[in-house]
A and B are shown apart, each in its own frame.
Chain A
Amino acid sequence: MIFIAVSIILAAAALGASLGMSNLGSKLLESTARQPELAPSLQTKFFIIAGLVEAIPIIGVGIALVLVFTMA
């Protein structure tokens, strides 16, 4: 049961985060192409949001590893 739970956690976290990151990256490229003079400030904001998005799969991986190695 724990392995099924872990696979669902990892799959959902990876799916959501990769969709979010691709959306974010495409919007960054689009807006940088439209207004290149805003690139530095957009990049700072991009990194903040990338950190927020990235947090979820990493937390998911951590929880999954704890489940596999200390509970199973």
Chain B
Amino acid sequence: MAAGQYENAGEYIAHHLVNLTYGRLPAGADLCYGGVNETTQWTLAGCASEAASMGFMAFHVDSLMWALGLGLLVMWLFRSAAKKAHAGVPGKFQCAIEMVVEFVADTTKEVFHGKTGAIAPIALTIFVWVFMMNLMKLVPVDLIPFPLELMGVNYQKIAATTDPNVTLGMAAFVLMLVIGFSIKVKGVGFIKELCLTPFHTWYLAPVNLVLEIVGLLSKPISLGLRLFGNMFAGEVIFLLIAALFGAGFIFLPLAAGLQVAWAIFHILVIVLQAFIFMVLTIVYLSMAHEEH
């Protein structure tokens, strides 16, 4: 644990909650070690205040990298299992992949009314991807960031779902799917549905439209924020326990015990939140398919 170089536990936690940010630093922004930035430039943020002054024009490099890397890893795993699949007695790896696929297919059939079509693959992708990104939280908090820090990379958050950009991005994708499927299934009826519920008269169409759009938007936002909130809160508690290691040798057994206990409890939360994200996606898509 690198708690020795921080002044207090708050600083340690705050440091570990900053993403590695690459973005456009505007001219006139304060630099980390005194002085003012003279020309607008694209650069890596050296500290939290630089990342804050980049504002909207910034990429969270670590979130992007870990999310894409884990997504590719999962795709490669599933592909290699599918290519090696045979009708004989399956090996352990094939069995594990088959269990995941069957579990998602059964859940989809149970929740989704009608012909499932492309829904089950979408659900499988979302479930496995969110699960893998959540799983990175079980890696001890300093195992990867600390060696990277020694090599000169200041910030690294390996759990991508603790970044609201990732979870809200996935939720925005779900919103696009909902709108897309609504238009595909109902056509013009979708616009009519937006304008004519809950009050069935054209005079109140603007009121209906406002109400329905709020309803439409609130679903993916709550979806993304729920995942983010759970994962972020869990991460803060992990960091708090890790900060306890720096408090002296007396606290070492307590901190180790707490770390293990919270990690074991978190296995449940990780799977449950990935599962809830998947089920709610299926429910929203199912609602998009229903005619009123």
Contact = CB atoms under 8 A, between A and B. Distances in A.
Contact of A58 (B9, B10, B107, B233): B233
A37 to B, nearest CB: 15
Interface in B39-93: none
A35 interface: no
A6 interface: no
A65 B276 contact: no
Contact of A48 (B10, B233, B279): B279
Q: Which of A48, A51, A63, A70 has the most CB of B within 10 A?
A: A51
A25 interface: no
A58 B230 contact: yes
Interface residues of B, number: 21
B110 to A, nearest CB: 7
A36 interface: no
Interface size class of A (residues with CB under 8 A): 10 to 19
B112 interface: no
Interface in B171-226: 226
Given A41-B110, A51-B275, A62 B229 contact: yes
B237 interface: yes
A58 B236 contact: no
A37 B23 CA distance: 57
B236 A66 contact: yes
A63 B234 CA distance: 11
Interface in B233-292: 233-234, 236-237, 240, 269, 272-273, 275-276, 279
Interface string B4-22: 0000011001100000000
Contacts of A47: 272, 275
Interface in A31-72: 41, 44, 47-48, 50-52, 54-55, 58-63, 65-66, 69-70
Given A48-B276, A51-B273, A70 B10 contact: yes
A62 B275 contact: no
A58 B161 CA distance: 15
Nearest to A47: B272
Contact of B226 (A55, A63, A65, A70): A55
A41 B110 CA distance: 9
Nearest to A58: B233
A69 B9 contact: yes
B233 A63 contact: yes
B282 to A, nearest CB: 11
Nearest to B225: A59
Given A50-B272, A58-B229, A65-B236, 10 more contacts: A44-B107, A44-B110, A55-B226, A55-B229, A55-B230, A59-B226, A59-B233, A66-B13, A69-B13, A69-B240
25 contacts: A44-B107, A44-B110, A48-B279, A51-B272, A51-B273, A52-B226, A54-B269, A58-B233, A58-B234, A58-B269, A59-B226, A59-B229, A61-B233, A62-B229, A62-B233, A63-B233, A65-B13, A65-B236, A65-B237, A69-B9, A69-B10, A69-B14, A69-B240, A70-B13, A70-B14
Interface of A: 41, 44, 47-48, 50-52, 54-55, 58-63, 65-66, 69-70
